[in-house]
Structure 1
Amino acid sequence: MSVVVAHAQQSLALPDNQRPVANEMTEVDLVVTGQLPQELDGCFVRVGPNPVDGRRSGHTFVGDGMAHGVRLRGGKAAWYRNRWIRTDRAARVLGELPLPGPRHGLSDNANGNVIQHGGRTLVLGEAGVLPIELDAQLESVARVDFDATLPHGFAAHAQRDPVTGELFAVAYHHELPYVEHLVITPWGRVSHCDRIEVSGPPLMHSLALTDRHSVLFDLPVTFDPVLARAGSRFPYAWSPGRPARIGLLSRIRRGTVPRWFDVDPCFVFHPVNAYEIDDRCVIDVVRHERVFDRDLHTPGESAPTLWRWTLDLTGGAVASEQLDDVPQEFPRIDERRTTMPHRYVYSVAVQTGAGVLGGSALLRHDLVRRAVAVHDFGPYRETGEAVFVPRGPLSAEDDGWLLTFVYDGRLDQSSLVVLDAAAFTGPPVAVVHLPARVPSGFHANWIVS
């Protein structure tokens, strides 16, 4: 794996792909190299910050959002679109009326994630921002509070149970002395809200699910009132000495308090998956030693790596194991395996010293064989989060495709690359050539038509 790290360091010669793009565009009937699978009928969408006035916001998590999407159907790439998310600030700069719907949160930055739930496509953000609904053409429609059932704000990284169809999230907001554990029905209404007492309050980007518990990450990054008074739009920082703990909140006995397990100080943006076997709870995560300490704007001051925590549900002990030492982020699995044992994990080998938004290679971890495969896109190229799309509802865990945007610094353009998950190191099945550059961003997802 040292080869991957060395190559990622070479790729720092890339042109800056975090600079914003200046225009919205629509391009139809895109050129494709190779053959797009007929089974791919949907839209691959990624979001990230893209200041509408062209000026960088400073903090990675802050800034007007933009969605980039490629519509695939019938073995063809029907269109590419990029659209600014119509936050109040973006609408004002663009000379448009503000979106309908309520407001909530410290800032207006719905730019962190895009999901499909309850018949809606939703863009999510940090620190209590309400979701913004997009239509099938990626145009902003309205802010969403789940039909007035949401008590306060929402979260940037929700998890869906593939068996029940429920969506789970942890919403945090600096004015509340607790976080809210939310359960949203498959048709898009909040059915349960549990108040979890915490100190800080902490930054809780995500959670994990088992079939019996929600897994909460109460870690030492907290709201900093000094930063808030100084005008920071995302005033969260590392809190030395604050305990780090993992909480198991019962999904079966509503209204109970979490059972907490102490761990070494660290931070987790992205759990891979969690599951329970007998009296053990296994939690795979990408673990940062610390974030927002020396660098208050970018979570890249320590190298994030793949770890496993195993909780002894009888004795209360926690066993920690590092599964890989290559810096990586944005882990994904076959989401049909959420809450169940999983074999494969796909992640981005991030560029050393260049933050955590992308790198030149994707990794595939086989956790049964304890082997790692590498798909390296080559020098001067940058890939982001890869999304697994199964070939069919009953296909095997590695029978499907990985979709990801890849930026070529020599051409200053991007493409949508489709890989065969079972032939991960082989050439792409198809490459969709885009008319523009897709900047480094956050989360992507496959939106089914």
Structure 2
Amino acid sequence: MTDTDIDARPEQGHVPWYVDGNFGPVFDEVTDLDLRVTGSIPPSLSGRYLRTGSNPPSGMSSHWFAGDGMVHGVRIEAGKAVWYRNRYVQTTKLQRGLDASDPEVMLDPTASSANTSVQAHAGRIWALEELHLPYELSPELDTIGSDDFGGKLTTAFTAHPKLCPETGELHFFGYSPLPPFLTYHVLDANGALVHSTEIEVPKGTMMHDFMITRDHAIFMDLPIVFDLTNMESPIGWDDTYGARIGIMPRMGTNADIRWFEIDPCYVFHPLNAYVEDDVVVCDVGRHASMSMQPEVYTPPAHLHRWTFDLTTGAVNEQRLDELTHAFSRVDDRVVGLKHRYGWGVSHRDGSETTLREPGVVVRWDVVTGTQANYDLGPDAFPSEFVFVQDDDAAAEDEGWAIGFVYNASDDSSDLVILDASAPGSEPVARIHLPQRVPFGFHGTWVDDSALHA
């Protein structure tokens, strides 16, 4: 995104970019039980693809991140597209008609936008946003209510928890502009909150995501910092704050954490992390800097590898790819473990990534150091794609990459299924949706087996 992309200001009588075109909301909650499909849906898929995003019911919000959450979902079973549904998450913020800038939103832990991601765990589904409690949804996307785990959770719940594929634990954290600034939590495989501990950091920072390995929890203390004395711009880049990575044993406490200084940068989304011998490896989408003002230019993300030697203390950083990208993901079965493949979205001509321009789906092979694209056409705008294995024994690339794609040529959206083992191939299936899906944030595949936990 460049400065010239942002030429619309509310005070000029124009529509801000983040509520314009396919960034703009849809206003109807739809149920469609008769979906048209091009191609063949793999019969191994049985579950729901769910994705949330910012969808202000008034048509206007103060920031792209501030609109009320609407979840879009497609149910797939036995080679058929059973339904499409889109539903607002019925949060306190939505029901009271609050903007994210209203003081009540900061003070009420239930006043979530619920617009950032969706997570299934222990037979439940939550819509998440990083400064409030999660909201539980039914499998049909009806809102059940906010969840504080029996009163045990007294902080926010990150929009990017990490589900350990080996233990079934869900690791997460909460950050805040007020003390405690950072708290680490763990849900056990049954969904009970079994561990909470405060992590000491100098200030409240916008810690959007984090990482785990088989042995560690990894926190990114980066220089997007809260300053509540400046109410016109209460969060922004601080050149004096520095940047560091905190690595601690899973289920550890603040006494166990080790901090490693890195060059100042910002990371919205890591790809994954793992430990090899005594070295922690983190593959991340690194921005050279970051602005929280929607009209200010922000450098794009490039895939980087950080390594932290726990024996010597040595830190190394390496750029892995020249492509800019967004929405990096790995196979959920290798979260915290050594990975080979990753998925993301990039600009179609290889320049800066922005959803304002047509894009391609990218598959990285970090072992060979190569990348390959799925080009869905000159008018295609792919959102985040997630990997779904073909069966329990499938390798890391044996399965399907699934995500929403907006088609600018006819103002429509599809759920697209790609063959993960065949980069460059045409989609295996396109499920045509009854209305467009606005550009949003993060989604997940909720396998039927996850709801029977």
TM-score, structure 1 normalization = 0.89
| Moved >6 Å (runs of 4+) | none
**Residues 1:17 and 2:14 aligned together:** no
Counterpart of 2:316?
Answer: 319
Counterpart of 2:221?
Answer: 218
Counterpart of 2:371?
Answer: 372
- The answer to whether the Cα contact below 8 Å between 1:308 and 1:322 also exists between their aligned partners in 2 is yes
Q: Distance in 2 between matches of 1:389 and 1:300?
A: 34
Q: Which runs of 5+ in 1 are unaligned?
A: 1-11, 95-102
DSSP-derived class of the 1:327 partner:
strand
Q: 1:247 to 1:356 in 2, by over 3 A?
A: farther
Counterpart of 2:141?
Answer: 138
After superposition, the C-alpha distances for 1:384-406 in whole angstroms (9 at most, x for unaligned) are 10010001112111000000100
Q: Distance in 2 between matches of 1:410 and 1:191?
A: 50
**Residues 1:264 and 2:263 aligned together:** yes
Range 205-214 or range 246-255, more displaced: 246-255
After superposition, the C-alpha distances for 1:8-67 in whole angstroms (9 at most, x for unaligned) are xxxx9xx82101112111111211111101111111011000001222x13221111100
Shift of 1:187: 1.5
Counterpart of 1:309?
Answer: 306
Q: 1:369 to 1:283 in 2, by over 3 A?
A: same
- The answer to whether the Cα contact below 8 Å between 1:359 and 1:384 also exists between their aligned partners in 2 is no
- The answer to whether the Cα contact below 8 Å between 2:168 and 2:188 also exists between their aligned partners in 1 is yes
Range 402-411 or range 168-177, more displaced: 168-177
Question: What is the aligned length?
Answer: 420
Q: 1:252 to 1:443 in 2, by over 3 A?
A: closer
Mapping for residues 109-148 of structure 1, pairs under 5 Å: 109-127=113-131, 129-148=132-151
**Residues 1:51 and 2:56 aligned together:** yes
Amino acid of the structure 2 residue aligned with 1:446: W
After superposition, the C-alpha distances for 1:150-181 in whole angstroms (9 at most, x for unaligned) are 13221111111110111111200122143001
Counterpart of 1:447?
Answer: 446
- The answer to whether the Cα contact below 8 Å between 1:350 and 1:357 also exists between their aligned partners in 2 is no
- The answer to whether the Cα contact below 8 Å between 1:275 and 1:340 also exists between their aligned partners in 2 is yes
From 159, 162, 165, the counterpart of 1:159: 162
DSSP-derived class of the 2:333 partner:
helix
Counterpart of 2:71?
Answer: 67
Counterpart of 1:31?
Answer: 36
- The answer to whether the Cα contact below 8 Å between 1:105 and 1:173 also exists between their aligned partners in 2 is no
Amino acid of the structure 1 residue aligned with 2:64: T
Q: Distance in 2 between matches of 1:20 and 1:253?
A: 42
DSSP-derived class of the 1:330 partner:
strand
Q: 1:333 to 1:51 in 2, by over 3 A?
A: same
Q: 1:239 to 1:118 in 2, by over 3 A?
A: same
- The answer to whether the Cα contact below 8 Å between 1:375 and 1:425 also exists between their aligned partners in 2 is yes
Mapping for residues 24-423 of structure 1, pairs under 5 Å: 24-55=29-60, 57-92=61-96, 104-105=108-109, 108-127=112-131, 129-227=132-230, 229-230=231-232, 235-251=234-250, 253-254=252-253, 256-292=255-291, 296-297=293-294, 301-350=298-347, 355=354, 359-423=358-422
- The answer to whether the Cα contact below 8 Å between 1:300 and 1:354 also exists between their aligned partners in 2 is no
Shift of 1:297: 3.0
Range 183-192 or range 352-361, more displaced: 352-361
DSSP-derived class of the 2:24 partner:
coil
Q: Distance in 1 between matches of 2:228 and 2:50?
A: 35
DSSP-derived class of the 2:150 partner:
coil
Shift of 1:241: 1.6
Q: Distance in 2 between matches of 1:361 and 1:368?
A: 21
Shift of 1:237: 1.1
DSSP-derived class of the 2:371 partner:
strand
Amino acid of the structure 1 residue aligned with 2:30: M
- The answer to whether the Cα contact below 8 Å between 1:208 and 1:271 also exists between their aligned partners in 2 is yes
- The answer to whether the Cα contact below 8 Å between 1:27 and 1:80 also exists between their aligned partners in 2 is yes
Shift of 1:118: 1.9
Q: Distance in 1 between matches of 2:281 and 2:168?
A: 22
Q: 1:298 to 1:448 in 2, by over 3 A?
A: farther
Shift of 1:282: 0.6
- The answer to whether the Cα contact below 8 Å between 2:86 and 2:141 also exists between their aligned partners in 1 is yes
- The answer to whether the Cα contact below 8 Å between 1:31 and 1:432 also exists between their aligned partners in 2 is yes
Shift of 1:412: 0.4
DSSP-derived class of the 2:66 partner:
coil
After superposition, the C-alpha distances for 1:233-260 in whole angstroms (9 at most, x for unaligned) are xx42111121100010112655633101
TM-score, structure 2 normalization = 0.88
Q: 1:215 to 1:130 in 2, by over 3 A?
A: same
CA-atom RMSD in angstroms: 2.1
DSSP-derived class of the 1:326 partner:
strand
Shift of 1:299: 8.6
Q: Distance in 1 between matches of 2:427 and 2:442?
A: 21
Counterpart of 1:97?
Answer: none
Q: Percent of aligned pairs with the same residue?
A: 40
- The answer to whether the Cα contact below 8 Å between 2:325 and 2:353 also exists between their aligned partners in 1 is no
Q: Distance in 2 between matches of 1:236 and 1:48?
A: 21
Range 26-35 or range 353-362, more displaced: 353-362
